[in-house]
Structure 1
Amino acid sequence: MTSNLDCVGLGVTDRAGMRRLVDIALAGAERLGEADGVSVLRWQDPSGARLVLGVRGDEVVDLLPSYAGTPGARLADVRAVNEDVAVADVLDDGGEQATMLAAELEQRRLLPAATGPVGGLACVVALGVDVAVYADAEAFAASDASLVGDRDDPGDPPAHVVEQGWPWPPRMATESFVSYGVFGEPAQAQAYARLNGTVLGAEPRTVTATGQRFVAARVRTAGFEADVCLPAGDAGGVPQPGNVVAGTVFLVGSLPVPTAAGGGAAPAKRSWLPWRR
């Protein structure tokens, strides 16, 4: 499985590489705000690749890769369910709930818990940790990747499926989405999801800080649009409009939370925390 950092061209192979990456980020980061003694800093490469860091004193306590995407999801009732993950309703153009998602937010430490849930038009970045690209909807529908359940032994179709003349085994729609983090115990929620969607456009990006390449694809899925990021080699070339991207992603969100006063470049000298993902 591809690492989250690899998806935005920030892959490292050892502790020394991680230290260099963190030092670069801290030297050019902007300050988004502070909560509970932790400063939230965000660094952005000209390619759009981002790192969001939480810094307490001289210690980097967390680090989240992200991307400067385009708003494409109208979120409501955004609420933290554990230290890392927030859950939100996704609304359609008519204000009705279309789906739900669980994501790690760039501003998760800055959510105003005292005033209740928040929302707004948000960027959703899907880091393609295990995805494939298909030529079109027909190619995806014919692939094993579209199957629901056990692809090796789907069993016999239930009676109601036979009665209705529905296809068997069942398959996922070309534009479909399942956020695993909205199920189960909130304390255990993670930001992984199954995302299938139609490519609206895509382009390769080269990270100035590392020289690594990645692909940023705008994808329409069930209820919203997302920026799917993946290493250039994993895409088999740059996806074209009408292609289908399908697989497991890690969701990162960015809400329109105001930048704190007194922001600016962060100090360059900080200790390093090993990447947790």
Structure 2
Amino acid sequence: MASNFDCLGLGSLDPAGLNTLLQQIVPAAEVIGTADDIVVRRWTDPSGVRLALVLREGQPLELLPSYAGVPGARLRGVRRVNDEMVVADVVDDDGEQTTMLAAAAEQLSLLSPGADPVDGRAAVIALGVDVSVHADEAAFTASDASLLSSDQDDSEPPAHFVENGWSWPPRMGAESFISYGTFDQADGEPYARLNGVVLSAERRTVAATGGEFSVARVRTVGFQADLCLPPELPTPEAGNVVAGTVYLVADLPFVSAPRTVPAKGKRSWWRR
């Protein structure tokens, strides 16, 4: 499984290399919010790679790898549910809910736990930690990647499947989405199973490090996301289907509310 940093062409950085990069970029990183004695800064490489940092007295408390994505999701009821993620409903232009997602957020430290939910358009970034690329919808449907559960591949269909003439084993569609973090909001993590159709894609090089990655604009159920892939995967083409496990990050430009300083979290400030 690839790391979040691998998906952004930063996988070659060890802690010493990362600290060197931070020393170079933090002074020039834009401030996107302050709360109490913390400052949230964001650095964006020309490639689109982003690092969102939470600092206190100039020292990093948290670091979130992200990407400068294009808004593609209309979110309702965005609320912070733990020290790593927010949860929100995804709605269409008519306000009807299409799905639900849990995501890490660049602005997480500006949201108070228990505060009133907020709404707005967000960029959703999917870091493809364990995904595959398929030529088209037919190829995806014929592959094991479309199986709802690999445990059901060789099992006998239940009686009600036979009675109703349903296909077995059950498979997911080429545009389908399951957000695992929504099931255990208190202790969950923002991983999801995302299957989507590629609208466009390209290979990019991180100017600051020379690392490479691919980014694809992907359409799934209810929203569009920018999917970042590690360099060992082929760069997808329009019409391909990408499928698998992703780590979700959201850019919430409509969030500006301050919050009190949280208790020390269980995770390391450097999340690979």
Instruction: Mark yes or no: TM-score above 0.5.
Output: yes
Equivalent position of 1:253 in the other structure: 250
Which amino acid is the alignment partner of residue 21 of structure 1?
L
Distance 1:239 1:150 in 2: 25
- Give the aligned length: 262
1:263 corresponds to = none
Quote the sequence identity (%): 58
* Gap change, CA 1:156 and 1:64, over 3 Å in 2: same
Aligned position for 1:65? 65
Counterpart residue number, 2:214: 215
Q: CA deviation at 1:112?
A: 5.8
Distance 1:274 1:18 in 2: 12
Task: List aligned pairs for 1:67-82, cutoff 5 A.
Answer: 67-82=67-82
1:88 is the counterpart of 2:84:
no
* Distance (whole Å) between structure 1 residues aligned to residue 47 and residue 167 of structure 2: 44
How far apart in 1 are the matches of 2:36 and 2:146? 44
| Alpha-carbon distance in 2 for matches of 1:82, 1:61 | 16
**1:275 aligns to 2:270 (yes or no):** yes
In 2: Cα distance, 1:114 partner to 1:198 partner: 36
Q: Greater CA deviation, 154-163 or 241-250?
A: 154-163
Equivalent residues of 1:81, 1:87 under 8 A apart = yes
SS at match of 2:232: helix
User: Aligned to 1:188, what secondary structure does the other structure show?
Assistant: coil
Deviates more, 1:29-38 or 1:208-217: 29-38
146-155 or 201-210, which moves further after superposition? 146-155
- For residues 113 and 80 of structure 2, what CA distance do their matches in structure 1 show? 8
Deviation string, structure 1 residues 89-133 (Cα, Å, up to 9, x no partner)? 000122101000000111111126676100111100000111110
CA apart distance, 1:36:
3.5
Q: Structure 2: how far apart are the matches of 1:231 and 1:84?
A: 23
Matched residues in 2 for 1:144 and 1:258: separation? 40
Which residue is equivalent to 2:223?
224
What is the CA-CA distance between 1:155 and the residue it aligns to?
1.9
Q: Specify the alignment match of 2:205 in structure 1.
A: 206
In the TM superposition, residue 231 of structure 1 has moved relative to its aligned partner by 1.9
Q: Following the alignment from structure 1 to structure 2, what is the Cα–Cα distance between the partners of residues 44 and 121?
A: 20
| C-alpha spacing 1:69/1:47, structure 2 compared with 1 (3 Å) | same
The match for 2:116 is 116
Distance 1:154 1:121 in 2: 42
| Contact 1:18–1:274 (8 Å) recurs in 2 | no
Q: 1:55: how far off?
A: 0.3
Q: Which residue in 1 is equivalent to 2:18?
A: 18
CA distance in 1, matches of 2:114, 2:171: 43
Unaligned regions of 5+ residues in structure 2, if any? 258-267
Could you state the TM-score of these two structures normalised by the residue count of structure 1? 0.89
Cα distance between partner residues in 2 of 1:41 and 1:170: 45
Aligned to 1:131: 131
- Residue 5 in structure 1 maps to residue 5 in structure 2: yes
Q: In 2 relative to 1, CA 120–259 (structure 1 residues): closer, same or farther, beyond 3 Å? A: closer
Partner of 1:53: 53
Instruction: Look up the match of 2:188.
Output: 189
Given that 1:217 and 1:227 are in contact with CA atoms closer than 8 Å, whether structure 2 keeps it comes out as yes
Aligned to 1:266: none
The answer as to whether partners of 2:213 and 2:228 remain within 8 angstroms in 1 is yes
* 2:174 paired residue number: 174
Consecutive unaligned residues of structure 1, counting only runs of 5 or more, are: 261-272
Judge conservation of contact 1:177–1:193 (CA < 8 Å) in 2. yes
Whether the aligned pair in 2 keeps the contact of 1:26 and 1:43 (CA below 8 Å) is: yes
Amino acid at match of 2:270: W
Q: Could you tell me how far apart the structure 1 residues matched to 2:122 and 2:199 are?
A: 18
TM superposition score normalised by structure 2:
0.91
